[in-house]
Structure 1
Amino acid sequence: MRIRRVVTTRAGGASSGEFESFNLGDLVGDDPAAVAANRKRLAAELGLTRIAWMEQVHGRTVTVVDGTEDGPAEATDALVTATPGVAVAVLVADCVPILLGDPEAGVVAAVHAGRVGARVGVLPATLKAMVAAGAELGRIEVLLGPAICGQDYEVPADMARDVEKHLPGSATKTRKGTPGLDLRAGLWRQLADAGVGKIGVDPRCTFEDPSLFSYRRDGTTGRIAALTWAETE
């Protein structure tokens, strides 16, 4: 099978104001009709009939879906599917969107990894669920999507130490020399240590790139989406 991965930007949607314009988040205060129009366009542009969304809560719960679900998966931060043509989606505005796929098994996953979720192990929980669905760690290919970069993600020193304890490699210094977190660096190490074969990183920083939504930069703002699905060639 072929694994497809897509990351959206702010451009090309129906939303206005702080959410201009391709906001895909439905729980951020945007006009529901605009969000619905944006999601409809997303599906049409990608030729998808089934996109699975989730009610993200900064935890480590993983939900397996097959496209027959009614509405978003409740209180979960990772979606796994082995059903071809079903896309799993994650919404972010600084957190790390992680897209994973085993092209031989046709198993894919989308993960929402913010500071809390990354710290408590949402990524290892997702890998475990993927293996249970038929994937093999050595065949899994991963994209760590655009997120706030370490030089802009300032946190208290005790928080940086705590996250580093649970996610080694994530503690860093900001451009001001203050304690910071580079979650993608820690997640990359976690994947490598788990034996994942191929790991790619989208280098864009949501805080610095105006084409992306950033909660830290703007406060009230929209959400980009990262999606992945398996299709038969």
Structure 2
Amino acid sequence: MRIRRVVTTRAGGASAPPYDSFNLGDHVGDESGNVFANRKRLAAELGLTEDRLAWMEQVHGRTATIVDGSETKAAEATDALVTAEAGLALIVLVADCVPVLLADAEAGVVAAVHAGRVGTRVGVVPAALEKMRELGAEAHRVEALLGPAICGDCYEVPADMAADVDKHVPGSACRTRKGTPGLDLRAGLWRQLADHGVGRIGVDPRCTAEDKTLFSFRRDGTTGRIAGITWVDPS
């Protein structure tokens, strides 16, 4: 089976500043009509119908939810979507948090995970891997992509916060380019995935705070959301 992965940018949509222009988040204050138009265009660009896009109500937790395409609205209060349904695209929205896209091509199981500081700390990625196992996936066959996120050079946090996250997800603590305590969530997640037996891990090195083609809450405050998307291509 062929696994598809897509990461959007902020360009090419209908939204006005400060959501310019391809904002896919419906919870950030953007006009609903613009978000609807952007999501409709997303489906068209992916070659899917709009009912084959699976969304979630992200809450910075560790809940992972299995979906099969029968859902009529976004999955409530969850930060990871998992499916074995071919042609169903799972979507995670971010503007600094790490979009984690997981796939076991042999089992035909994929997951999209919203891994911000809190979700990473409380184990949302291991929760997603466990749900994938319930559908027949095996960690040693899983491929992971850690998408664009705020980098450790930019993500400054209090020292006690960095130490706390690193205690739960070793490898996360770092120093920013200013020499202050920081977090590199992708580094911690890479190590966590490896510790869980995932052998193929890719990292998109783009920093959302530095790359103006991406949305960043830390940089801009009120802003839109890009998407990380994965699905099993049935063709």
Given the two structures, how large is their TM-score scaled by the length of structure 2? 0.98
Task: Output the CA distance in 1 between the equivalents of 2:37 and 2:234.
Answer: 28
The amino acid that maps onto 2:84 is A
Counterpart of 1:160? 162
Q: Which amino acid counterpart does residue 189 of structure 2 have in structure 1?
A: L
- Pair 1:143-2:149 in alignment: no
Describe the SS at the equivalent of 2:21: coil
Aligned residue identity for 1:35:
V
Q: Determine if the alignment matches structure 1 residue 33 to structure 2 residue 33.
A: yes
Instruction: Name the CA distance, whole Å, in 2 between partners of 1:197 and 1:168.
Output: 18
The answer for the alignment partner of 1:16 in structure 2 is 16
Aligned twin of 1:43: 43
Query: Where do 1:85-96 residues align within 5 Å?
Result: 85-96=87-98
Deviations 1:26-82 (A, max 9, x none): 000000000000000000011112010000000000010011101100000000000
User: Which residue is equivalent to 2:185?
Assistant: 183
The aligned runs of 1:211-226 (5 Å cut-off) are 211-226=213-228
The whole-number CA distance in structure 1 between the counterparts of 2:162 and 2:139 is 29
* SS in structure 2 at match of 1:23: coil
> What letter corresponds to residue 55 of structure 2 in structure 1?
W
Which whole-Å CA distance do the structure 1 matches of 2:5 and 2:94 have between them?
A: 15
Which amino acid letter does the alignment assign opposite residue 204 of structure 2? D
Aligned runs of 1:184-203 on 2, under 5 Å?
Answer: 184-203=186-205
SS, match of residue 157 in structure 2? coil
Residue of structure 2 equivalent to 1:169: 171
What amino acid sits opposite 1:39 in the alignment?
R
Determine the C-alpha separation between the residues in 2 that align with 1:6 and 1:81: 17
Q: 1:127 is paired with a residue of what secondary structure?
A: helix
Matching residue of 2:7: 7
Structure 1 residue ranges, 4+ long, deviating more than 4 angstroms after superposition: none
Q: Distance in 2 between matches of 1:154 and 1:61?
A: 26
Separation of aligned partners in 1, 2:48 and 2:83: 15
Gapped runs of 5+ residues in structure 2?
Answer: none
Distance 1:42 1:231 in 2: 16
TM-score for the superposition, normalised by structure 1: 0.99
> C-alpha displacement at 1:232, in angstroms?
2.7
Partner residue, 1:114: 116
Deviation at 1:197, TM superposition (A): 1.9
Structure 1: runs of 5+ lacking an equivalent: none
Query: How far has the Cα of 1:17 moved from its partner?
Result: 1.1
In structure 2, distance between residues paired with 1:152 and 1:196: 27
The secondary structure found in structure 1 opposite 2:62 is coil
> What is the percentage of aligned positions where both structures have the same residue?
76
Q: Distance in 1 between matches of 2:64 and 2:34?
A: 29
* Aligned residues between the structures: 233
Backbone CA RMSD of aligned residues:
0.5
